[in-house]
């Protein structure tokens, strides 16, 4: 109670600190409301969620979803298997549910917050509740880029969790023998999402500079583990694993997407970027925490993958985690080196500006929460689907997964693979021509007309597919944003 009373007194005594506390409090409340509303929504929010539930079902049956894409079902699994296997384990205990997967993701987000806090405490040697430690952790936790992926059923947050645990372990045990246990964390991160390689690479470089033999040993252990596990998975899946996780992930690259992604990121995190630069200087001065500086540098350059078609803000999660740590270190350096009221109030003012930007960005949640307002329509659509005998094709893969139906075709991934010349659509076109699907669920009406002006439709279906849907199927009913198509002449 004394701590709470003292904190409130400080807030009233310092209007800058009080304003910062209010903004952070509002952001936290809005975040909790939106996040929990989204987590417990029973239907798909993000287009990948249904795919994740579908692929976890394959693991539950003992068959990894790394199947030949030339054969039916026309699906690709672009992720390494650890998250899907853990998710499948929970499904076996509690039944198929999107909520289960989101809780796994949110739990991973919580662990990330704890790891960032512990890393900052370890590097700054501060006590519990120290201002730089708390602010570094909070700013990482409330940025919209992180929050959007704290509840969506994706692999990113769990991969970030394993990475944060590996980084903390390395800094905690440095060059003692126990440090090599971090290899397990980094392997877990890679086999959760295969793009998470920058942390172990950073560790290898820093170890090699300081202790060449241990750096080589760390690299050998990680490389050996990665090759052995990948080899086993590739053998079990008859060579399909590496195709799915590497070859089928090479989407087209657009420079416009890259420039827009990088500029947007820097603008929205300008204050954190400034404090992070101070944090880098602190790591060079103190000769500790340089691993984090290198890690942020490598992950920022790796962020150029945001130029891929289909990329999103999740490509910056590692950068933001590193920047959260560096921001805390920068605040530590400023508050210790420049102990003047003017500097202190300037720091608080900048933090208020960054927090207001993050608060404003919370409005982006509306894009994801919007489907929740239409829960009754989806409920009615699911009931209607239960009455349909035979296969159903759905743009919303989550509707299929929660009604215990296999996804027969993944709209975005397979269309991208066709455009790259990797996949042939003839088999799928034959299904549409022969009216194999007894119902098709799409988010648009008048397929050919929609295809002309909708970039989203063009990214999910080819012109030939849309032409056959328009020719062979007719929209018979609308459920909220979704149109139900049935075969013509039936």
**Can you spell out the DSSP letters for 302-315?**
HGGGGGBTT--GGG
204 pLDDT above the threshold of 70: yes
Q: What is the pLDDT of residue 373?
A: 56
Question: Helix crossing, 317-337 with 156-173: angle to 10°?
Answer: 40
CA 411 to chain centre: 20
Q: What is the pLDDT of residue 3?
A: 45
CA distance linking residue 428 with residue 418, whole number of Å: 11
| pLDDT digits 0-9 by tens, 329-340 | 998 888 777 777
Three-class secondary structure of residue 455 per DSSP = helix
Q: What is the pLDDT of residue 311?
A: 67
488 pLDDT above the threshold of 50: yes
Q: What is the pLDDT of residue 463?
A: 92
Q: What is the pLDDT of residue 455?
A: 75
Q: CA 45, 47, 50 angle in degrees (round to 5)? A: 85
pTM: 0.92
Q: What is the pLDDT of residue 129?
A: 55
368 pLDDT above the threshold of 60: no
Burial of 51 (0-12, 13-18, 19+ CB in 10 A): buried
CB contact set of 320 (below 8 Å; sequence gap of 6+): 140, 143, 145, 146, 269, 272
Question: Which letter does DSSP use for residue 442 in this model?
Answer: E
In the chain, the percentage of residues whose pLDDT exceeds 90 is 54
Q: What is the pLDDT of residue 469?
A: 94
Q: What is the pLDDT of residue 127?
A: 63
In this prediction, residues 101-115 reach a mean pLDDT of 96
In this prediction, residues 442-471 reach a mean pLDDT of 85
308 pLDDT above the threshold of 70: no
Q: What is the pLDDT of residue 314?
A: 83
Mean pLDDT of the chain: 87
265 pLDDT above the threshold of 80: yes
| pLDDT digits 0-9 by tens, 379-430 | 999 999 999 999 999 999 999 988 989 999 999 899 989 998 999 999 999 9
Whether omega before 274 lies within 30 degrees of 0, making that bond cis, reads: no
Residue of 238 and 131 predicted with greater confidence? 238
Report the chain's C-alpha Rg in angstroms. Answer: 24
Which sequence spans correspond to the domains of the chain?
14-43+78-368, 371-487
In this prediction, residues 286-291 reach a mean pLDDT of 83
Instruction: Identify the CA nearest to 407 among candidates 419, 392, 417, 422.
Output: 392
Q: What is the pLDDT of residue 456?
A: 75
In this prediction, residues 139-168 reach a mean pLDDT of 93
484 pLDDT above the threshold of 60: yes
Per-residue b or e along 433-467, where b marks 16 or more CB atoms closer than 10 Å to that residue's CB: eebbbebbbbbbeebeebbeebeebbebbbeebbb
Residue of 344 and 127 predicted with greater confidence? 344
Q: Which of 20-29, 36-45, 370-379 is least confident?
A: 370-379
459 pLDDT above the threshold of 70: yes
CB contact set of 394 (below 8 Å; sequence gap of 6+): 400, 407, 440, 441
28 pLDDT above the threshold of 90: no
Instruction: Identify the CA nearest to 278 among candidates 351, 330, 204, 210.
Output: 330
Residue of 35 and 118 predicted with greater confidence? 118
Question: Which letter does DSSP use for residue 446 in this model?
Answer: S
Q: What is the pLDDT of residue 489?
A: 80
20 pLDDT above the threshold of 90: no
Cβ atoms of residues 438 and 487 within 8 Å: yes
């Amino acid at each position: 109670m004394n701590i709470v009373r003292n904190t409130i007194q400080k807030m009233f005594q310092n209007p800058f600190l009080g304003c910062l506390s209010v903004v952070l409090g509002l952001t936290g409340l809005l975040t909790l409301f939106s996040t929990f509303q989204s987590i417990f929504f029973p239907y798909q929010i993000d287009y990948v969620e249904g795919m994740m539930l579908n692929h976890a079902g394959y693991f539950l049956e003992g068959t990894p979803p790394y199947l030949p894409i030339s054969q039916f079902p026309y699906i690709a699994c672009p992720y390494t298997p650890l998250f899907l296997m853990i998710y499948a384990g929970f499904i076996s205990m509690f039944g198929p549910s999107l909520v289960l997967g989101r809780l796994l993701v949110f739990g991973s987000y919580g662990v990330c917050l704890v790891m960032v806090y512990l890393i900052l405490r370890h590097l700054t040697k501060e006590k519990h509740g120290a201002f730089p430690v708390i602010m570094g952790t909070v700013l990482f936790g409330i940025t919209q880029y992180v929050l959007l992926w704290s509840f969506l059923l994706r692999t990113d947050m769990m991969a970030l969790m394993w990475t944060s645990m590996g980084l903390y372990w390395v800094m905690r045990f440095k060059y003692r023998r126990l440090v090599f246990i971090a290899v397990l964390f980094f392997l877990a991160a890679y086999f959760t999402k295969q793009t998470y390689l920058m942390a172990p690479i950073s560790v290898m470089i820093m170890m090699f500079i300081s202790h060449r033999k241990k750096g080589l040993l760390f690299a050998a252990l990680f490389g050996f583990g990665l090759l052995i596990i990948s080899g086993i998975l590739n053998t079990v899946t008859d060579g399909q694993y590496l195709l799915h996780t590497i070859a089928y992930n090479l989407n087209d690259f657009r420079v416009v997407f890259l420039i827009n992604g990088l500029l947007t990121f820097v603008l929205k995190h300008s204050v954190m970027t400034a404090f992070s630069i101070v944090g880098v200087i602190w790591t060079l001065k103190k000769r500790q925490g340089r691993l984090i500086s290198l890690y942020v540098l490598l992950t920022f350059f790796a962020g150029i993958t945001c130029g891929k078609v289909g990329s999103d803000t999740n490509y910056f999660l590692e950068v933001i985690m590193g920047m959260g740590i560096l921001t805390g270190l920068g605040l530590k350096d400023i508050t210790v080196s420049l102990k003047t009221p003017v500097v202190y109030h300037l720091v608080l003012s900048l933090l208020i500006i960054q927090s207001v930007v993050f608060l404003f960005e919370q409005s982006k949640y509306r894009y994801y929460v919007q489907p929740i307002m239409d829960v009754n329509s989806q409920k009615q659509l699911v009931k209607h689907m239960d009455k349909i005998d035979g296969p159903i094709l759905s743009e919303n893969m989550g509707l299929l997964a929660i009604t215990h139906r296999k996804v027969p075709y993944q709209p975005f991934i397979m269309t991208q693979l066709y455009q790259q010349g990797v996949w042939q659509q003839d088999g799928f076109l034959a299904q549409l021509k022969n009216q194999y699907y007894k119902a098709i669920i799409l988010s648009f009406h008048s397929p050919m007309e929609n295809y002309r002006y909708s970039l989203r439709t063009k990214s999910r279906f080819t012109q030939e597919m849309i032409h056959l849907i328009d020719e062979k199927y007719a929209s018979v009913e609308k459920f909220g944003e979704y149109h139900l198509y049935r075969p013509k002449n039936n």
